[in-house]
Amino acid sequence: MLQRTGGLITAASLTPASLAGHGPGFRATAVVDGAFKEIQLSDYRGKYVVLFFYPLDFTFVCPTEIIAFSEHAEDFRQLQCQVLGASVDSHFSHLAWINTPRKDGGLGAINFPLLSDLTHSMATDYGVLKEDEGIAYRSGAGAG
């Protein structure tokens, strides 16, 4: 079970069995290495997946965590684990945020896919949609 604490959803109460379980499937457009690509959860079959959600691009909520995930993406890959980030923004917004230098409020280059959840289906399926605002809570959970 995910817990909400101050707007952050954590997997602290998940049992190891549920962490090793399969998350809801999805198909989404992502920004990968500066290009648009269709991604689905099944692309990572046989690997661990860390899927995290953040509220919106170009905000000051979560960019340091996103950048930290990017800086450690290779460490995750060496453990057969793929990091994926998602928000309700469009893939065009993701690309603009990535293409904006960090000193100007952007992310700069990111070493993992950022997925677009414009329909809110992923956030709903993973239980992280803040329905009154139409954005995702900050959250992270294992999937795969």
Indicate which residues carry an active-site annotation: 62
- Burial of 140: CB neighbours in 10 Å, binned 0-12, 13-18, 19+: buried
Closest CA to 91 of 109, 116, 123, 60: 116
| CA-derived radius of gyration, the chain | 14
